[in-house]
Structure 1
Amino acid sequence: MDAPRRIPIVSIVGKSDAGKTTLLEGVVSELVARGYAVATCKHHAHEVDIDVPGKDSWRHARAGARVVMVASPSQLVTIRRLERELDLDEIAAEAARAGCDVLVTEGFKRVATVRIEVARRARSRELISEPHELVALVTDDESIEAPGVPRFALDDHRGVADFVERTFLKGARDGD
């Protein structure tokens, strides 16, 4: 079996309630409208039970199944137990196997190498990243300094999507 192609990983980071999810939604919508297949991954520091207690799939997992799948005519949901946390490259490889062009993550602030930070003035006047760690800054606070880092307004989803497309997705739809 061939190794999956490498796809870009773009991580949206920032403090809680800064607007990360809103930015992610807007950028993903823009990229999908342009024809890209986008995968997303939200990082949680603790185990998350996304299944519904009492439902059959929940019962399958509680019985000890290592992988639980729920299939419908339009979806396949897979819940899989892991021996260790996957790193971003491994998660991106899963997305690539599913035919995605890019993985956009929310969180992963300690390990992301391609970071777009969201900094909302009402939430904080400081970045969680060092300016040199950022590829872009999304903020409503002109006092935050990040020399040489492209800046976008909090609601400029199209501009951020343009930046992601131009910087990381050149030729992704052409097989380049």
Structure 2
Amino acid sequence: MKILGIAGWSGAGKTTLLARLIPELIGRGVSVSTMKHAHHAFDVDTPGKDSYVHRAAGATEVMVASGRRWALMHELRDAAEPDAATLVSHMTPVDLLLVEGFKNEPHDKLEIYRAANGKPLLSDGDATYVAVLSDGKVPETPLPVLDLNDIAAIADFVMAHCGLKPRA
């Protein structure tokens, strides 16, 4: 399974890019999964539901399953947050796993950069970044710079970088 990160400061457009890139890659015959890092407390469960009651009672893991999907919730309790590699080990293998966030992890990454955000380049001095996706020129980087709005060109780069071949 190939792994490629999408990183950028908050508000750069990571999720928007993924919402456009995933269908483009799937249309080329690539199976795609995603993993997203959240910097804040989040919950995928609803108070009052049985699964929520199970977790609140102290269960380490709760699986909810139906005829359409299943979800596994794992409570860390007081354990340390796992790194990306540990989390990836729980994923079902696909052709490409796109990882949103996890900007300091050792997998290869694309940086979404918008000068208007007023933030520095994350990729500056970090060899895990392989290209910059931007809505403008980025003369201060030695990395390839791709137009953030050219989804086909970004997909071409991703496929080439990850050694993926289109399938019908």
TM range (shorter): 0.7 to 0.9
Aligned Cα root-mean-square deviation (Å): 2.1
**Preserved contact between residue 113 and residue 132 of structure 2 (Cα < 8 Å):** yes
Give CA deviations for 1:72-91 in whole Å, capped at 9, x if unaligned. 11201111123433222222
Q: Report the secondary structure of 1:136's partner residue.
A: strand
Give CA deviations for 1:69-119 in whole Å, capped at 9, x if unaligned. 111112011111234332222222222xx2322211111112243110001
- The residue correspondences of 1:10-29 to structure 2 (distance < 5 A) are 10-29=4-23
1:33 deviates by 1.9
1:126 deviates by 2.7
State the TM-score, normalized to the length of structure 1.
0.82
Determine whether 1:139 maps to 2:138. no
Q: Give the number of equivalent residue pairs.
A: 164
Matched to 2:152, the amino acid is R
1:15 deviates by 1.0
Indicate the residue corresponding to 1:85 in structure 2.
81
Tell me how far apart the structure 2 counterparts of residues 168 and 143 of structure 1 sit (CA, whole Å).
Answer: 23
**Preserved contact between residue 39 and residue 100 of structure 1 (Cα < 8 Å):** yes
Identity %: 38
Matched to 1:32, the amino acid is I
Indicate the residue corresponding to 1:3 in structure 2.
none
**Preserved contact between residue 119 and residue 139 of structure 1 (Cα < 8 Å):** yes
Query: Any stretches of 5+ residues in structure 2 without a counterpart?
Result: none
Q: Report the secondary structure of 1:94's partner residue.
A: coil
Tell me how far apart the structure 1 counterparts of residues 138 and 84 of structure 2 sit (CA, whole Å).
Answer: 32
